[in-house]
Amino acid sequence: MVTSSGVSGRIAVDAMGGDLGPAEVVAAVQLALAEFPDLNPITLVGDTAVLTPLLASAQLANSPRASVFHASEVIAMDDKPLAGIKRKKDSSMVRAIELVKNGEACAIVSCGNTGALMAGGTLKLRPMEGIARPALAAVIPRENGHFILIDAGANPEARPEHLVHNAILGSHYCRVMLGIARPRVGLMTIGTEEGKGNALITETNELLRRVDDIINYAGPIEGFQVFTDHVDVVVCDGFVGNIMLKSWESLVNFFKSMLKEELSANPLRKAGALLSKGAFNSFKERINPERYGGAPLLGLRGTILKAHGSSNRYALKSAIRAAGEVIKADMNHLIEADITRANARLEQPAA
Amino acid sequence: MVTSSGVSGRIAVDAMGGDLGPAEVVAAVQLALAEFPDLNPITLVGDTAVLTPLLASAQLANSPRASVFHASEVIAMDDKPLAGIKRKKDSSMVRAIELVKNGEACAIVSCGNTGALMAGGTLKLRPMEGIARPALAAVIPRENGHFILIDAGANPEARPEHLVHNAILGSHYCRVMLGIARPRVGLMTIGTEEGKGNALITETNELLRRVDDIINYAGPIEGFQVFTDHVDVVVCDGFVGNIMLKSWESLVNFFKSMLKEELSANPLRKAGALLSKGAFNSFKERINPERYGGAPLLGLRGTILKAHGSSNRYALKSAIRAAGEVIKADMNHLIEADITRANARLEQPAA
């Protein structure tokens, strides 16, 4: 099948990079193919000697929907990102990226070394026309749903036009992943009084207003609004975004351990916790990172979905599904069109 | 009594600015004086006609430990900060700041308009010798204790030397408030791989290493370490700090409402929640912002403690206690000495 992207529509899955090993990745592929009959075909990239028997056990040996592409090396979690990409030319990650570069696949799913995946993607896949640097997005639960955080860590020294591009990238990903037709975009800042924020924010805010027919710009937002139902896309640079994302994870872990400690402090509390177990399970499910499995690196010619190193089959299945959605929606072409319109607007002198 | 600061050691309390009104402020003063026999004397600043009867009801009319300083106006929460400070010259906030400026008090506690307090403090009290801009600190609960976040929002465009000053300010506040003799200081960044972070962080990291006999520098830290027992002072600029702080509050609120919803979804869960009520109460107490009531604006000639606008008497009592501790420890003189040593080091050319 040839999609409107002019390529196969295949998803390249790095089968070797995760903490749980290739068996878990194959299990994820098996689950995804079973659950989503329309899912794009998948190429598992990795050691054939390891993957072929796993595919056979998964009843996928002769499936037209899954194939293997051989790669003899693996980039380890503790490999230096750039060195790993440059030295391990026959690694599953590098080969998966090259499949996209050569038009043999449209998207990559990997739970390998994050730094290497970002560096490799950015070096080997060119940015889209009109975009200087890719951005990492994350899907985060909040009141009444989820929001997209972009950039979650790819570009720590953004200029105003990069943030405008982030807004466009995030809006499209929000549409595809969360099904929101006209996502509200907020620019992360501090205070909304005059003179607050910084020079980057002031200039970006002005640029975002110029393109508010392309994106649905809701204005600057403050930290206290992030987890309320206020915007669907939170735009920031990769420095602020990564710090927010990781500190939230740290806070959630702190909360969970505190709650666990308190709930097991005496027999009465333990009994209560047992009775209300369903509540804690639903609670966990609502903030379950497995639901949206991968963080996409957006703005490149080809989509890279980074799943957590410790991803299990369910998280990986979600990431594979996300890759399929992105390809089917022809998201990257729609993004390029909006970027072209926005850049034309940004080049005009200020009114 | 004349302290080593050469002034009275009095605490000026803005009695008019909070959401709960002057009666709550007087109640806080009454609690603080009763609980802390060594507490510095307090000057309540506000409308005498309102405050005198409140003090009489609180049995403080003739106390040598509490007095009233008249101010006829109040800066409202919705007043524009700069305009409020400039127009309302006889407001309780401006008068309280002036008491410190004139050496009649050493510290201010206010739960009034944050922007006005910051603007007023920065304009009317000069920064300490060697410091360009003040920084706002916050005490945040984490695994095994608390940490100091600095700057939580005063200076959104910091240069490297400002962050070094924040490290010194935060260390001293940590010593006084958390009783940690040699607080570990971390510099907030993303990733610790080469090439990560941004130019501000790279340069600040180098400067912090130069002064690591003055502060106990533990190196850069990432978001995932913030709520673990890794450092005692987290240094960042006011843009990042304010976004973190407010997004954490937003996340906590989201969490609480989700948990409440889940725990009341059916009778079984409700019964369980009732049995384990003690756990939720202890949990709330552990993250209770009332314990450290005020966020100090540090680096000025005089300490300003900003309490939340909705502070009740217990939160305000904690803020008043904090002001007393800061004065007793002669914190500002110790800070000035460290700033002088650090600045001499920073002026030397890089090794």
Residue A304 has pLDDT above 60, yes or no: yes
Residue A305: what pLDDT? 94
Residue A140: what pLDDT? 94
Taking the C-alpha atoms of residue B120 and residue B319, their distance in angstroms, rounded to an integer, is 19
Residue B351: what pLDDT? 56
Write down the residue that tokens 């806080």 correspond to: B28
- pLDDT band, residue A308 (cuts 50/70/90): confident
Residue A229: what pLDDT? 97
Which of A118 and A292 is assigned the larger pLDDT?
A118
Taking the C-alpha atoms of residue B327 and residue B324, their distance in angstroms, rounded to an integer, is 5
User: In Å, how far from its chain's centre is CA B342?
Assistant: 23
- Given a contact cutoff of 8 angstroms between Cβ atoms, the answer to whether A136 and A296 are in contact is yes
Report the residue from B193, B263, B275 with minimal CB separation from A115.
B193
pLDDT digit string (tens) for A167-206? 999 999 999 999 999 999 999 999 765 556 788 999 999 9
Average pLDDT over residues A8-13: 91
Residue A288: what pLDDT? 66
Residue B188 has pLDDT above 90, yes or no: yes
Residue A281: what pLDDT? 83
Q: Give the residue ranges of DSSP H helices in chain B.
A: 22-35, 48-57, 81-87, 92-101, 114-124, 160-178, 199-210, 238-263, 267-275, 277-286, 313-328, 331-347
Q: B145 exposed, middle or buried (CB, 10 Å; 0-12, 13-18, 19+)? A: exposed
- Tokens (6 digits) for B191: 């990733």
Residue among A43, A39, A25, A166 nearest A102 (CA)? A43
Q: Does A50 touch chain B (CB under 8 A)?
A: no
Domain topology for B132-295: Isopropylmalate Dehydrogenase (3.40.718)
- The DSSP call for residue A300 is B
Taking the C-alpha atoms of residue A235 and residue A246, their distance in angstroms, rounded to an integer, is 16
Which of A193 and B130 is assigned the larger pLDDT?
B130
- The DSSP call for residue A138 is E
Least trusted range by pLDDT, from A12-16, A58-62, A283-287:
A283-287
Q: Which CATH superfamily is domain B1-130+299-329 in?
A: Isopropylmalate Dehydrogenase (3.40.718.10)
* Closest chain B residue by Cα to residue A263: B279
Taking the C-alpha atoms of residue B43 and residue A154, their distance in angstroms, rounded to an integer, is 52
Q: Does B257 touch chain A (CB under 8 A)?
A: yes
**B236 vs A contacts (CB less than 8 Å):** 243
pLDDT digit string (tens) for A91-136? 999 999 999 999 999 999 999 998 899 899 999 998 999 999 999 9
How many CB atoms lie under 10 A from the CB of residue A203? 15
- Given a contact cutoff of 8 angstroms between Cβ atoms, the answer to whether A203 and A119 are in contact is no
- pLDDT band, residue B264 (cuts 50/70/90): confident
B330's torsion region: left (phi>0), alpha (psi -120 to 50) or beta?
left
Least trusted range by pLDDT, from A109-123, B284-298, B330-344:
B284-298
A1-131+299-328 and A132-292 agree in CATH topology: yes
Q: Does A284 touch chain B (CB under 8 A)?
A: no
pLDDT digit string (tens) for A204-254? 999 999 999 999 999 999 999 999 999 999 999 999 999 999 999 999 999
Q: Give the residue ranges of DSSP H helices in B182-330.
A: 199-210, 238-263, 267-275, 277-286, 313-328
Taking the C-alpha atoms of residue B98 and residue B43, their distance in angstroms, rounded to an integer, is 12
- Amino acid letter, residue B195: G
Contact assignment for B250 to A242 by CB distance below 8 Å: no
Residue among B150, B172, B195, B165 nearest B332 (CA)? B172
Q: Give the residue ranges of DSSP H helices in chain A.
A: 22-35, 48-57, 81-87, 92-101, 114-124, 160-178, 199-210, 238-263, 267-275, 277-286, 313-328, 331-347
Pairing relation of β-strands A184-188 and A233-235? parallel
Taking the C-alpha atoms of residue B107 and residue A20, their distance in angstroms, rounded to an integer, is 56
Residue B205 CA: distances (Å) to CA of B68, B103, B214, B256: 47, 37, 14, 37
The Cα of B177 is separated from the nearest Cα of chain A by a number of Å equal to 22
The mean of the pLDDT values for chain B is 91
- Amino acid letter, residue A177: M
The Cα of A175 is separated from the nearest Cα of chain B by a number of Å equal to 23
**B278 vs A contacts (CB less than 8 Å):** 262, 265-266, 268-269
Write down the residue that tokens 């300010």 correspond to: B169
Taking the C-alpha atoms of residue A38 and residue B14, their distance in angstroms, rounded to an integer, is 66
Of 3.20.10.10, 3.90.76.10, 3.90.1170.50, 3.40.718.10, the CATH number of A1-131+299-328 is 3.40.718.10
Least trusted range by pLDDT, from A263-277, A287-301, A335-349, B278-292:
B278-292
pLDDT digit string (tens) for B34-50? 999 999 999 999 999 99
- Given a contact cutoff of 8 angstroms between Cβ atoms, the answer to whether A101 and A302 are in contact is yes
Segments making up each domain of chain A, as ranges = 1-131+299-328, 132-292
**B151 vs A contacts (CB less than 8 Å):** none
- Given a contact cutoff of 8 angstroms between Cβ atoms, the answer to whether B22 and B118 are in contact is no
The DSSP-derived string for B316-347 is: HHHHHHHHHHHHHTTHHHHHHHHHHHHHHHHH
The mean of the pLDDT values for chain A is 91
- Given a contact cutoff of 8 angstroms between Cβ atoms, the answer to whether B174 and B180 are in contact is yes
- pLDDT band, residue B115 (cuts 50/70/90): confident
Average pLDDT over residues A334-341: 97
Residue A347: what pLDDT? 87
In chain B the first and final C-alpha atoms are separated, in Å, by 47
- Tokens (6 digits) for B130: 């060697």
Residue among A110, A104, A124 nearest A5 (CA)? A104
Write down the residue that tokens 């998207």 correspond to: A107
Give rounded-to-5 percent helix, strand, coil for chain B: 50, 15, 35
**B193 vs A contacts (CB less than 8 Å):** 80-81, 115
- Given a contact cutoff of 8 angstroms between Cβ atoms, the answer to whether A276 and B273 are in contact is yes
Which of A148 and B270 is assigned the larger pLDDT?
A148
Q: Please give the radius of gyration of chain B, using alpha carbons only, rounded to the nearest integer.
A: 21
Report the residue from B153, B190, B263 with minimal CB separation from A279.
B263
Residue A2: what pLDDT? 38
pLDDT digit string (tens) for A25-80? 999 999 999 999 999 999 999 999 999 999 999 999 999 999 999 999 999 988 99
- Tokens (6 digits) for A332: 């990257």
- Tokens (6 digits) for A158: 């953004």
Average pLDDT over residues B96-108: 96
In chain A the first and final C-alpha atoms are separated, in Å, by 47
Least trusted range by pLDDT, from A270-284, B159-173, B229-243:
A270-284
Which of A292 and B257 is assigned the larger pLDDT?
B257
- Tokens (6 digits) for A131: 């975009």
Pairing relation of β-strands A135-142 and A233-235? unpaired
> How many Cβ pairs closer than 8 A exist between chain A and B?
205
Residue A166: what pLDDT? 98
Which of A281 and B3 is assigned the larger pLDDT?
A281
- pLDDT band, residue B99 (cuts 50/70/90): very high
CATH, range A132-292: 3.40.718.10
Least trusted range by pLDDT, from A152-156, B64-68, B339-343:
A152-156
Residue A193: what pLDDT? 59
**A254 vs B contacts (CB less than 8 Å):** 142-143, 227-228
Residue B117 has pLDDT above 60, yes or no: yes
Least trusted range by pLDDT, from B92-106, B217-231, B255-269, B281-295:
B281-295
3-state secondary structure of A228: coil
